[in-house]
Amino acid sequence: MIVLIANEAGSGETRVAATPETVKKMIGVGLEVQVEAGAGGHAFFSDAEFTEAGASVEPASAERRRAADLLLKVGPLGTHDDLGSEIALLKSGAVVIGFLDPFLNLDSVRALAAGSITALPMELIPRITRAQSMDALSSQASIAGYKAVLLAASRLPRYFPLLMTAAGTIRPAKVVIMGAGVAGLQAIATAKRLGALVEVSDIRPAAKEQVESLGGRFIDLPEMETGEGAGGYAREMGEEFLRRQREILTEHVAAAHVIITTAAVPGKPAPKLLSADMVRRMKPGGVIVDLAAERGGNCELTRAGEEVIEAGVTILGPLNVAGTMPRDASALYSRNVLELVKELVDDGTVRIDRENDVVGPTLVTHAGEVVNPTAVALLEKEGR
């Protein structure tokens, strides 16, 4: 079985789906590993390191793509700078693993099914105990939460910590974090380490204990309905709940120097937590880092990939935040991918067991069909 590590050419992606460490382990379970030249360059893994690990390293070519039994990627399938459509290059029966974003790339889902290609999006790994080592959403979100605080600290025109100096006392910055998932929890821990006062909002009551264990103060929201969704993810809430939530948060936002928003619902646009009016109530010099920018943003004024200044408040909408730390992000992501690959490999051959409690829920397309219920429903809705 040939495993090909893709060069994410043309996508702006800096991460790579395998490292020399994971290449050695894939070879150890009987797989032949090929790496497209330069695939690890942006993450500071050289071609020589991959060769030393036992991989075959050659320039990307259509022939090598067509020969691959298993293609490992980071970002969604798209158009390679030199090779063209990545889906068209895959042979029937090939397996592809990566952050494929299937629910927002329905054309790709159709093409994968039409080509009899098996697709396993890493973002659909179920949140069960046995699959924790494969949870790439969590490994990458943790990096994003950490980096978001550093971005805010670098743009804030004041200190984060309390400082008592001969020239007087500097009060600590107030940070409000919206969403206490993996990214939010890492943001809490990082902001506390920098000495800020941290308040946290989340629609899941169960998050309160985690927030307080990290030293944050939990902002109680209206107990109209629980926001707990399947697998511990937040679920989509009604407009009335979101309206009440914004009312309660307004006074906390007005007092904040930094706001970091991390709220996301799998397969849905990001909920709007910060209105333009709430932003205008913030202190001039305030900073908002919207980690949901790729999904439309939690802030009404966020522009994906851009910086917006409104009433003296800087709003950052960074994209692919984990990719700004590509070395460690790749190390973690590649280990997540490796564990999924090991779940698929039996005696050196990739086998798809739809009854497997990890593989089954992760599959989107297989054997010429769309097998994920959400993808099927979206395709039917689009066809009406």
Is 221 domain-assigned? yes
What is the pLDDT at residue 224?
A: 47
Number of domains in the chain: 2
Per-position pLDDT tens, the chain of length 384: 999 999 998 788 999 999 999 999 999 999 999 999 999 999 999 999 999 999 999 999 999 999 999 999 999 999 988 899 999 999 999 999 999 999 989 999 999 999 999 999 999 999 999 999 999 999 999 999 999 999 999 999 999 999 999 999 999 999 999 999 999 999 999 999 999 999 999 988 889 999 999 999 999 876 645 545 455 455 456 677 777 777 889 999 999 999 999 998 777 889 899 999 999 999 999 999 999 999 999 999 999 999 999 999 999 999 999 999 999 999 999 999 999 999 999 988 999 999 999 999 999 999 999 999 999 999 999 875
What is the pLDDT at residue 236?
A: 58
Is 376 domain-assigned? no
343 and 236 share a domain? no
302 and 201 share a domain? yes
- Among the listed residues 110, 138, 193, 327, the single catalytic one is 138
How many angstroms separate the CA atoms of 251 and 249, rounded? 6
Pairing of the two strands 79-80 and 84-85: antiparallel
319 and 295 share a domain? yes
Residue 159 annotated as catalytic:
no
- Among the listed residues 82, 132, 213, 353, the single catalytic one is 132
- Among the listed residues 233, 244, 275, 281, the single catalytic one is 233
Pairing of the two strands 197-201 and 174-178: parallel
Residue 275 annotated as catalytic:
no
21 and 36 share a domain? yes
What predicted TM-score, i.e. pTM, was given to this entire model?
A: 0.92
315 and 194 share a domain? yes
320 and 330 share a domain? no
Last-in-domain residue among 296, 324, 352: 324
3 state SS of 271: coil
3 state SS of 259: strand
Is 33 domain-assigned? yes
Pairing of the two strands 168-170 and 163-165: antiparallel
60 and 167 share a domain? no
Last-in-domain residue among 324, 358, 378: 324
Is 380 domain-assigned? no
What is the pLDDT at residue 225?
A: 54
Domain that holds residue 114: 2-124+326-370
Which of 331, 303, 327 is CA-nearest to residue 315? 303
247 and 195 share a domain? yes
What is the pLDDT at residue 226?
A: 52
16 and 80 share a domain? yes
208 and 304 share a domain? yes
3 state SS of 200: strand
What is the pLDDT at residue 109?
A: 97
276 and 166 share a domain? yes
Is 131 domain-assigned? no
Structure tokens at 38: 């330069």
Is 383 domain-assigned? no
What is the pLDDT at residue 227?
A: 46
Q: How many CB atoms lie within 10 A of CB 162?
A: 13
User: CATH number for the domain including 185?
Assistant: 3.40.50.720
3 state SS of 187: helix
Q: What is the DSSP string of 136-154?
A: HHHHHHHHHHHHHHHHHHH
Which of 94, 43, 92 is CA-nearest to residue 72? 94
Torsion of CA 264, 290, 121, 124, to 10 degrees: -20
How many angstroms separate the CA atoms of 80 and 66, rounded? 14
Which residues, other chains included, contact 242 with Cβ-Cβ below 8 Å and sequence gap of 6+?
271, 272, 273
- Among the listed residues 47, 69, 116, 127, the single catalytic one is 127
214 and 305 share a domain? yes
Phi and psi (nearest 5°) for 85? -60, 125
Which of 258, 275, 360 is CA-nearest to residue 314? 258
Residue 127 annotated as catalytic:
yes
- Among the listed residues 34, 65, 135, 335, the single catalytic one is 135
Residue 233 annotated as catalytic:
yes
Q: What is the DSSP string of 276-317?
A: HHHHHTSPTT-EEEETTGGGT-SBTT--TT-EEEETTEEEE-
Last-in-domain residue among 287, 307, 324: 324
Residue 132 annotated as catalytic:
yes
Count of alpha carbons within 13 angstroms of residue 236, beta-carbon side: 6
